[in-house]
Amino acid sequence: MAEKIIRIGTRDSELALWQAQTVQKQLNDLGYKTQIVAVKSQGDLLLDKPLYELGITGIFTKTLDIAMINGQVDIAVHSMKDVPTALPIGIVQAAVLERANILDILVHKGSTDFLKTDATIATGSLRRQAQWWNKYPNHTVVDLRGNVNTRLQKLEDNTWNGAVFAAAGLERLNLKPATNEALDWMIPAPAQGAMVVVAMADDAFTLDALVQLNHIETEICTYIERQFLKTLEGGCTAPIGAIAKYNEKDDTIHFKGVLLSIDGKQKLIAEKLVDISEWKKLGFHAAQEILNNGGSKLMAEIKIQLKK
């Protein structure tokens, strides 16, 4: 085997490093030599603005893309839900790792009695905010930014009743508090719980290494979810959720996708159960169904609201 050292680019947050180290271990176990290179991202530096106001999809991936194109690193590891549906020219998806927990969870401070009354819930995600308001229209939702540790600390320091997190991130860092509730009614972000590794399209050595880490079932399900997202709006700013699940017993895929208004008052759902042979266009067809049932009008309204 050639002696090339695969340089793994990552953000320097604890979760990003955990993800990079997971890929490093898997590559090392296959006999490859690796090195982790930490790169600071604009998303981590600009903590005073909500993500969707920064006017860029993929804020966390852009810095690493540039480092890869400049030849400073060979691969980058991301939470797949943070990655834009269109990758920069010259960069390709090289592996999707087996998916972890897909659910969102509510981290709270003891009792959840507040769910029945007035409450203040924190989240930096338009998707979580809209789904929360759809279910609890009288609650207040406040913006929450920063890495996992920062957000947990902010919840501790404030009088909020709770905050919404992706279960996978907290579980990966062993940070999931005992006082949490799984939000099985909330449709996750497309590709939530999955990690993706990207590399340069012309780097055959690295691509050959990474293909061995790919989990085909997760690759197919996240492809469907991201196709749904891309067909609806091509970025990651609107309140969109999607989940595809493969059932090996009967070789089917169950898909559920949702588009909501920012205030949560409108909710458009597409749900499909198809044979595995139909997976390639499943996300597209589900998105078209929503667009034809009022989604086009709703997407136009959302874009106007986000420009304000």
Output DSSP code: residue 295. I
Largest CA distance in the chain: 63
Calpha distance 22→96 (Å, rounded): 12
Length of the chain, please? 308
Calpha distance 35→7 (Å, rounded): 5
End-to-end CA distance of the chain: 55
Calpha distance 246→255 (Å, rounded): 9
Query: Are the CB atoms for 41 and 59 separated by under 8 Å?
Result: yes
**Nearest Cα to 67, choosing from 7, 14, 22, 26?**
7
Output DSSP code: residue 233. T
Calpha distance 129→290 (Å, rounded): 20
Query: Are the CB atoms for 195 and 96 separated by under 8 Å?
Result: yes
Q: Which residues are catalytic?
A: 82
**Residues forming a β-bridge with 166:** 104
Calpha distance 73→212 (Å, rounded): 20
Other beta carbons within 10 Å of 189: 24
Residue 124's H or E segment, with its range, is none
Query: Are the CB atoms for 15 and 81 separated by under 8 Å?
Result: no
